Amino acid sequence: MRRSAESLGKLSKTALFLRAGFRVTTAFRLDGKTAIVTGGGSGIGQAIAKQFAASGANVHIFDLHLERADATVRQIWEASGVHAAAVQCDVADAGSTGQIISGIAAKERIDILVNSAGISHIGRLDSTNEEDFDRVFRVNVKGVFHCMQAVMGPMREHGGGVILNLASVAATAGLSDRFAYSMSKGAVLSMTLSVAKDYLKDNIRCNAISPARIHTPFVDAFLREHYAGREEEMFAKLSNAQPIGRMGSPEEVASLALFLCSDAAAFITGADVPLDGGFVNLRG
- Measured CA to CA, the distance from residue 279 to residue 168 in angstroms comes to 11
Would you please indicate which residues are annotated as catalytic (active-site) residues? 181
Q: Is residue 173 part of a domain?
A: yes
Contact 241, 178 (CB under 8 A): no
Confidence category of residue 270, pLDDT binned at 50, 70, 90: very high
**Which residue segment(s) compose the domain that 160 sits in?**
30-212+248-275
* Other CB atoms within 10 Å distance of the CB of residue 48: 32
Q: Is the pLDDT of residue 284 over 90?
A: no
Contacts of 99 (CB under 8 A, 6+ apart): none
pLDDT at 271: 98
Could you tell me the pTM of the whole model? 0.89
Question: Number of folded domains in the chain?
Answer: 1
Which pLDDT does position 283 carry in this prediction? 81
**With bands split at pLDDT 50, 70 and 90, how would you rate the model's confidence at 274?**
very high
Q: How confident is the model at residue 5 (pLDDT cuts 50, 70, 90)?
A: very low
Whether the predicted pLDDT of 8 surpasses 60 = no
48 belongs to a structural domain: yes
Give the chain's mean pLDDT: 91
pLDDT at 27: 62
For residue 183, the domain's CATH number is 3.40.50.720
Q: Outline where DSSP puts E strands in the chain.
A: 34-38, 58-63, 85-88, 112-115, 161-166, 204-211, 272-275
Structural domain contains residue 22 = no
Is it the case that residue 121 has pLDDT exceeding 60? yes
**240 lies in some domain:** no
pLDDT digits (tens, 9 = 90+) for 70-101: 999 999 999 989 999 999 999 999 999 999 99
Is residue 16 assigned to a domain? Answer: no
- For the segment 200-257, what is each residue's pLDDT rounded down to a tens digit? 999 999 999 999 999 998 889 888 988 899 999 999 998 998 999 999 999 999 999 9
pLDDT at 230: 94
125 in any annotated domain: yes
If pLDDT is split at 50, 70 and 90, which confidence band does 120 have?
very high
Q: Specify if 280 maps to a domain.
A: no
Confidence of residue 28 (pLDDT cuts 50, 70, 90): confident
Determine, yes or no, domain membership for 60: yes
